[in-house]
Amino acid sequence: MSKFRVALSADFKKPDGSPAYPMFDLSPLEDDPDVEVAYAKPVDGRMTAESMAGFDALILLAAKFDADSIPADGRLSIVARFGVGYDNVDIEACSAAGIGVVITPDGVRRPVAVTILTFLLALAGKLFDKDKLTREGPAGFAKRPGYMGTGLVGRTLGSIGIGNIGAEMFRMCVPLDMKFIAHDPYADPELAVSLGIELVSLERVFTDSDFLSLNTPLTPETHHMVNAARLATMKPSAYLINTSRGPVVDQPALVAALTSGVIAGAALDVFDPEPPSADDPILKLENVIATPHALCWTDQCFAGIGASDIEQVLKIKSGETPPHLVNRKLATEASFQNRLSGYKKTFG
């Protein structure tokens, strides 16, 4: 092995070959004499085993990586997702093949928390309603009394999940003087206390929240966690914010709740399906703010995500366990550690 070979999924390039995201700085890889960088093209939105052959690492954008993507040569050691969601990666298949899967919580913590805060303030102030009124001229100005916003002092901000992003959301919202509640069966109680968060049952986070933010990964347990029955327990004045994954919400049930006034409104950066069709009912509702799974996309966000991916790829090359393994049990397996030892001996 003369080079540590890193593949990037080809969707990191535009059709003309230029970088799709120039703020993703590849120089730490390109300047390393022991690293070779190449692009691997997905087929029908999926990485192929043939394209992965001969690579030690893959930095993956939007394409899927499943059991059929795993090369027969056994060389691939890490799939580094560009972001924190990993529902496009078959974790079980990767673990069985000894491939680590990493995500980039450091790169998205602040940008996604800012997204949630943006939604919170826009919903509370009826920002888009008032923008529309203004564009109507004097007739719109005359309608202002019917569009009173919601003051935030003393209101309850709830979260399902207080992990990386959820905790940062609460940190950023401290100056708003809201009451904080959260449901998270894996929460660190000391962290909750330090942030002034009351840990509550799943039922209470729905019934008590004035603004409920979803900050949980998509798992079999969280799929359609927000359903008709739970929406029905929310305040009619409450708002739902989803920046996690679309299928955490039963979208038809949400449409029904928003249409009938069960809740006041929602702000969504994710959908099910995604992208939604142009005639999807969720996009027709005036009490919904919708963004295309991209509100957190900034130059700083993508630079941070890319830096985190590269850092973890280079840790593998140096024979170290990367810090943000999704399949954490792999780190304790002798075969994986032997692979790391081999990299350390060659490149360390």
Q: Burial of 220 by CB count in 10 Å (0-12 exposed, 13-18 middle, 19+ buried)?
A: exposed
Q: Which of 109, 245, 324, 339 is catalytic?
A: 245
SS3 22: coil
- Report residue 155: phi and psi, to 5°: -75, 165
Q: Which of 204, 223, 224, 293 is catalytic?
A: 293
Distance CA 71, CA 93 (A): 12
Distance CA 46, CA 9 (A): 10
Q: Which of 136, 274, 286, 333 is catalytic?
A: 274
SS3 302: helix
- Report residue 5: phi and psi, to 5°: -100, 125
- Is residue 183 within 8 A of residue 211, CB to CB? The reply is no
The single-letter code of the amino acid at 254 is L
SS3 124: helix
What sign has the CA pseudo-torsion 228, 233, 234, 236? positive
Distance CA 120, CA 188 (A): 25
Question: Is residue 245 flagged as an active site residue?
Answer: yes
* Beta-carbon-side half-sphere exposure of residue 134 (alpha carbons within 13 Å): 6
CB atoms within 10 A of CB 235: 16
CB atoms within 10 A of CB 233: 14
Question: Is residue 92 flagged as an active site residue?
Answer: no
Distance CA 9, CA 136 (A): 46
SS3 89: strand
Give, as one character, the DSSP assignment of residue 64. Answer: B
Active-site annotation, residues = 245, 274, 293
